[in-house]
Amino acid sequence: MKVSLLYINEKLPLNADDLIIDLGLNQVIETMAGNDKFIFDTCTKVLLTGVNDETEIAYRHDVLVDAINNPSIVEQMYQILNDASTKARNRLYFITKPHPIYLLYESISVLEIFIEVLGKIKTVVGDNSVYFKSEGFRSFFKIIFDEFNLQYITMVMNHINNLRFNNGITFRCEIGSGNKLVNYILLKPDSKKRLAFLRKREEYSYNLPAMDEGGAQILDDMRNAAVADTAEIIKMAADNALGFINDTKAQIAFYVGCINLHKKMKDLGEPTAIPRISKSSVKFKGLYDISLSLAIKGGTVKNSLEIEKPLVIVTGPNSGGKSTLLRSLGQAQLMLRAGMFVPAEYYEGPLLKTINTHFRRGESAKMEAGNFENELVHIKAAIENTAVHGLVLLNEPFSSTNAIEATELSRQIIDSLIEGGVHVVVVTHFYELAWEYIKDPNAVFLKAERKEDGTRTFRIVPGEPSFTSYGEEIFLKVFGDLKVHKAAD
Amino acid sequence: MAFKSILWTEDGTFSNEHNFFADLNLEQVINEITKGDQELKQLFYLPLKSSTSIAYRQKIFEDLENSKTLNSIMAFYTKIEKIDKQLQYLDKLYDYQREGVFIETVISYCNALIDLAADLSNAPLKSTGLADFRDFLKTYLESHEFTVLKINAEKIRSSISSIKFIITINGGRITVKKYNGENGYNNEIVSAFSKFGVREVNGTPEVRNNFNHIEANILKLLANIYINEFYTLKEFYKQNKNFIDQIIYKFYKEVRFYLFFIDYITPLKLGGLSFCLPQIDPNCEKVFGKEMFDFVLAKKLIKENKKIVTNDFYLDERIVVITGPNSGGKTTFARAFGQMHAFGRLGLPVPGRAASLCLCDHIFTHFEIVERVENLTGKFEDDLVRIRQIIDKSTEKSVLIINEMLSSTSIYDAKVIGKQILEIIKGKGAICVYVTFIDDLAKIKGVLSMVAQVDPNDPSIRTYKIVVQEASSKAYTDVLARKYGLSKEMVLRRLKA
């Protein structure tokens, strides 16, 4: 009984925190989760880990489409599983010392919860199962309706009744070392009728005196020993049943998250698209920063580009939309790997194996020896985590040191990455660095768009880096009222 | 010769003072070796008087260097120890439990002896002690007494363990009856719950508690069904209470002396250290040791995975004076020297690759007491009183270990007095290891000078090597000076530049 709506990798990548911060994922995941902590955690895992298998992604897309088309049923199933999971957790494993009989009873009560869940889901899904086309949901319903059919459940319930031992516990026994009683083997509890028949065998009895508390404890130990193995077996069954509940809940949680995010983007009037996987080139229309969109409630600037080279160098003035593009590229790749829709009207791109970011952040941007060292350590870690056919997003690398060092270091790193088959997008204000690649067949140049009158559109368009300092301009704009010399002089 | 004891021949022991045990850190070692067993501990305070009795034990240790021999005796010891413990608490057990434990104890005893005899039958035994014991054992196993004991015990045990029965516990009522081949329930459960991914479990069906009155009651009920089996069991116990042979028992107790000691030194050996059976010179003339070390320190360093430095000595003179920097290993050396002598005369292996030791009548130590320095004059006097007592009692066969005496006085006094004391000891002819800071004491005629070494390139590193060398504290300060650029050449060069 294994549900496979999606595979959840419990192990977050080492750079999970970087990804969340650099790509602004918190806002995205919060929207997916609503106020459900569990959905939040699950979506975090799924979004950050992703898969490297095109077939698996297509499989998820099918499930995703089913979920978006049948939101109410999916949400109800999640609710049923969520309730059951909480209920089972409250029943289970509150004993500190091993006590097989309690363990047995607890396990039985978990099995009962499981059987109840099956019933409820059957009711909710009912005839609507025909609206689900994906292999994922279909195989899930097969488990619920076929594998655990009424006949099987009745049989299981009979054994559960036996295991309540209403006529006492009977076991076989031998005399072991030191004449201690050993090798308990539980026998099938007999019906009253059969018990009467068995009494014809020669038997001797002993009644525990009411005052004998120690004796009562020992009888309890013996009963426990007699059911120890059985309790372990039933616990295994309960664990698996609970595992089924929890796994299914987690898998559905992700799709509930997708439903929520999808609804939200629709409300904000933003497009979403099921991405297509290409061999290596990236082509998109209306790509936007989903995190920014959630923050400013839609109306984001959209980019449309075709990129056919592994190295993308983005230059241009500050606040020109460079970082936004970088983030949206990262988000799209992550969501593609997770089997989700992406924030664009249309998107196709390669399935890249890893995503690593090295973004300049607040404090670390200052030129200080310690920061430079930190940057080196960070970028080293980022590269160590990158695989061939991975993606590395560099946002103003080595701004903690001077231009010459930064250029030289960046160039070495980028060269080795590109040679190693990694896709690199770098945003830099070091024009020296950009010019190093001006004749490189692997590189493509983008820059922040400006209209003829000089105003910024925040759109990113193809364009080689220019040496004109926009900084000077901004400086003049801000300080122009003071008497200053042009930097060009 | 008929076997009597694995420890003793006819010869006697020194009645001995053992004040030195504390100074040499031996009390700690002995406690660890004997695991606190008082009876065993006493043996360490009974040094042997004759080379013959020392050789008797040394030969046994030699035999035990054969790992097969050692393992078989170790196994025997472990088994008998368990049996010994079980027999001690039989009286406290319930009816039928007692008999059950007893019969197993008898069987274990028989098997332990048979195993040991088989193991030893082809062992290359060279020691009189173990060879005689092997002969004794062979005769005992062939005796009628032993054969009957074994056969009966096994027969009865097998009849009891073939009993299978059913218990039903319903509320406070326990019912027993014969078992008629009913199937266990778990197989059915496993197949019924197969869709839940369950497997068979053969976990822990044993009841965790000790044998108890409920089980005793159940056995009583069973005795109604299996009348013969339980009657024979009870009779066997009544008739065989004192089944252990007295000589076997004594061997088991005494052999611990060897086994425990070997157990203690094995980790040290595995750590690359050597132990040897020393030559014991009754005339106290030939005294040397190769690659020796301090037991206690070695045990500690092995645990910390640190390197242990070993040292050699060859006593060309009766008196050794050790000098050198603080914490350079001087005291450790002196202590190790004393430890070797203390253990050598017990017939035990000693630290080192090879050694020849003095069969000494006394070991005296005088280690400075660091505490109580308020009254220096008083302390100085106490020191002298103690050293006087030691010298008075010592003979040309005594070993003296003296550490940092006279530090409570001026250096001049220490020199003058120290020289005189050493001359007195020389006159006594005793063997003496004398640890001091004062170079001059090492320059007395007829004294062997040994010096604790430092790394020539970095004087802060002690090598813990103690070698025969002329005492010179200047050698050490020269190295220090070079390291900090203060040597004569360095300072002159700088002045000229």
Q: Which of A260, A389, A293, A382 is nearest to A333 (CA)?
A: A389
Q: Enter the tokens of residue A121.
A: 């889901």
Query: CA–CA separation, A344 vs A335, rounded Å?
Result: 11
CA of A139 to nearest chain B CA: how many angstroms apart? 15
Produce one character per residue of A340-354: b if its CB has 16 or more CB atoms within 10 Å, e if not.
bbbbbbbbbbbbbbb
- Residue range A336-340: mean pLDDT, rounded: 96
Query: CA–CA separation, A447 vs A456, rounded Å?
Result: 11
Residue B427 pLDDT: 87
Q: Enter the tokens of residue A254.
A: 């992700």
Produce one character per residue of A422-452: b if its CB has 16 or more CB atoms within 10 Å, e if not.
bbbbbbbbbbbbbebbeeeeebbbbbbbbee
The parent domain of residue B358 ranges over 271-496
Instruction: Name every residue whose Cβ is closer than 8 Å to that of residue A320 and which is 6 or more positions away in sequence.
Output: A447, A448, A449, A456, A458, A460, A470
Residues B158 and B236 in one domain: yes
Selected residues 7-36 of chain A with any CB under 8 Å from a CB in chain B: none
Q: What is the CATH number for B324?
A: 3.40.50.300
Q: Are A435 and A363 in contact (CB under 8 A)?
A: no
Supply angle C-alpha B271, B466, B54, rounded to 5.
60
The backbone region for A97, taken as left when phi is positive above 0, alpha when psi lies in -120 to 50, beta otherwise, is: beta
B219 and A175: CB-CB below 8 Å? yes
Residue B285 belongs to a domain: yes
- Check residue B37 and report its DSSP letter: -
Kindly indicate the confidence band of residue A334, based on its pLDDT and cuts at 50, 70 and 90: very high
Residues B258 and B140 in one domain: yes
Residue A478 pLDDT: 40
Window from A179-193, A282-296, B288-302, B377-391 with minimum mean pLDDT: B377-391
Residue B462 pLDDT: 77
Residues B413 and B458 in one domain: yes
Residue B78 belongs to a domain: yes
- Residue range B382-405: mean pLDDT, rounded: 85
Residue A290 pLDDT: 97
Residues B291 and B440 in one domain: yes
CA of A233 to nearest chain B CA: how many angstroms apart? 6
Type and span of the H or E element at B253: helix B246-254
- Residue range B209-229: mean pLDDT, rounded: 92
Pairing type for strands A423-427 and B398-403 reads unpaired
Residues B120 and B249 in one domain: yes
Query: CA–CA separation, A218 vs A212, rounded Å?
Result: 10
Residues B353 and B456 in one domain: yes
A234 and B193: CB-CB below 8 Å? yes
pLDDT in tens, B329-384: 888 999 999 999 999 999 999 999 999 999 999 999 988 765 444 455 556 677 77
Residues B241 and B388 in one domain: no
Residue B57 belongs to a domain: yes
Residue A175 near chain B (CB below 8 Å): yes
Residue A372 pLDDT: 60
Which residues of A are less than 8 Å from B166 in CB distance?
170-173, 187
A187 and B225: CB-CB below 8 Å? no
Q: Enter the tokens of residue B167.
A: 């218990």
Domain final position from B262, B288, B305: B262
End-to-end CA distance of chain A: 76
Q: Enter the tokens of residue B442.
A: 């090492």
pLDDT at A176 over 60: yes
Q: Which of A427, A439, A437 is nearest to A314 (CA)?
A: A427
Which residues of B are less than 8 Å from A202 in CB distance?
177-178, 225
- Residue range B227-243: mean pLDDT, rounded: 93
pLDDT at B159 over 90: yes
Kindly indicate the confidence band of residue A374, based on its pLDDT and cuts at 50, 70 and 90: confident
Residue A179 near chain B (CB below 8 Å): yes
Produce one character per residue of A251-284: b if its CB has 16 or more CB atoms within 10 Å, e if not.
bbbbbbbbbbbbebbeeeebbbbbbeeeeeebeb
The pLDDT > 90 percentage for chain A reads 61
pLDDT in tens, B171-189: 899 999 999 888 899 999 9
Window from A108-122, A353-367, B71-85, B212-226 with minimum mean pLDDT: A353-367
Nearest CA in chain B to A232: B201
Domain final position from B236, B262, B288: B262
- Check residue B5 and report its DSSP letter: -
Residue B190 belongs to a domain: no
Instruction: Name every residue whose Cβ is closer than 8 Å to that of residue A305 and which is 6 or more positions away in sequence.
Output: A282, A283, A284, A287, A446, A460, A461, A462
Kindly indicate the confidence band of residue B433, based on its pLDDT and cuts at 50, 70 and 90: very high
Residues B300 and B258 in one domain: no
DSSP helix/strand/coil, B473: helix
Residue B390 pLDDT: 87
CA of B496 to nearest chain A CA: how many angstroms apart? 41
pLDDT at A56 over 90: yes
Residue B204 pLDDT: 60
Residues B219 and B150 in one domain: yes
Query: CA–CA separation, B228 vs B236, rounded Å?
Result: 13
Kindly indicate the confidence band of residue A236, based on its pLDDT and cuts at 50, 70 and 90: very high
Query: CA–CA separation, B447 vs B440, rounded Å?
Result: 11
pLDDT at B392 over 90: no
Query: CA–CA separation, B202 vs A9, rounded Å?
Result: 32
Selected residues 188-217 of chain B with any CB under 8 Å from a CB in chain A: 188-190, 192-193, 195-209, 211-215, 217
**Size of chain A, expressed as the number of residues it contains:** 489
Which residues of B are less than 8 Å from A184 in CB distance?
205-207
Residue B141 belongs to a domain: yes
DSSP string, B161-216: HT-EEEEEEETTEEEEEE---PPBSHHHHHHHTGGGT--------S--SPS-HHHH
Selected residues 79-138 of chain B with any CB under 8 Å from a CB in chain A: 96-97, 99-101, 104
Kindly indicate the confidence band of residue A381, based on its pLDDT and cuts at 50, 70 and 90: confident
Residue B187 belongs to a domain: no
Residue B238 near chain A (CB below 8 Å): no
Residues B288 and B256 in one domain: no
DSSP string, B54-119: HHHHHHHHHHHTSHHHHHHHHHHHHHHHHHHHHHHTGGGSPTTHHHHHHHHHHHHHHHHHHHHHHH
pLDDT at A26 over 90: yes
Window from A193-197, A394-398, B347-351 with minimum mean pLDDT: A193-197
A182 and B198: CB-CB below 8 Å? no
- Check residue B125 and report its DSSP letter: -
Residue B495 pLDDT: 35
Kindly indicate the confidence band of residue A482, based on its pLDDT and cuts at 50, 70 and 90: very low
Residue B5 belongs to a domain: no
DSSP helix/strand/coil, B318: coil
User: How many independent structural domains does chain B possess?
Assistant: 2
Which residues of A are less than 8 Å from B186 in CB distance?
185-186, 229-230, 233
Q: Which of B332, B392, B383, B365 is nearest to B22 (CA)?
A: B365
Q: Are B209 and A238 in contact (CB under 8 A)?
A: no
CB-CB: which of A176, A186, A208 is closest to B186?
A186
Across all residues in chain B, what is the average pLDDT? 87
Residues B234 and B280 in one domain: no
Kindly indicate the confidence band of residue A91, based on its pLDDT and cuts at 50, 70 and 90: confident
The pLDDT > 90 percentage for chain B reads 59
One-letter-per-residue 3-state SS of chain A: CCCCCCCCCCCCCCCHHHHHHHCCHHHHHHHHHCCCHHHHHHHHHHHHHCCCCHHHHHHHHHHHHHHHHCHHHHHHHHHHHHHHHHHHHHHCCCCCCCCHHHHHHHHHHHHHHHHHHHHHHHHHHHHHHHHCCCHHHHHHHHHHHHHCCHHHHHHHHHHHHHCCCCCCEEEEEEECHHHCEEEEEEECCCCHHHHHHHCCCCEEEEECCCCCHHHHHHHHHHHHHHHHHHHHHHHHHHHHHHHHHHHHHHHHHHHHHHHHHHHHHHHCCCCCECCEEECCCEEEEEECCHHHHHHHCCCCCCEEEEECCCEEEEECCCCCCHHHHHHHHHHHHHHHHHCCCECCCEEEEECCCCEEEEECCHHHHCCCHHHHHHHHHHHHHHHHCCCCCCEEEEECCCCCCCHHHHHHHHHHHHHHHHHCCCEEEEECCCHHHHHHCCCCCCEEEEEEEECCCCCEEEEEEECCCCCCCHHHHHHHHHHCCCCCCCCCC
Give which of A173, A179, A213, A245 to mutate to test B binding, by max B Cβ within 10 Å. A179
Across all residues in chain A, what is the average pLDDT? 86
Residue A414 pLDDT: 86
User: Where do the domains of chain A lie, and which CATH numbers do they carry?
Assistant: 16-164+238-267 (no CATH), 171-224 (no CATH), 276-479 (3.40.50.300)
Residue B56 belongs to a domain: yes
pLDDT in tens, B87-141: 998 989 999 999 999 999 999 999 999 999 999 999 999 999 999 999 999 999 9
Kindly indicate the confidence band of residue B482, based on its pLDDT and cuts at 50, 70 and 90: low
- Residue range A94-110: mean pLDDT, rounded: 81
Which residues of A are less than 8 Å from B222 in CB distance?
175, 204
Residue A391 pLDDT: 95
Residues B161 and B255 in one domain: yes
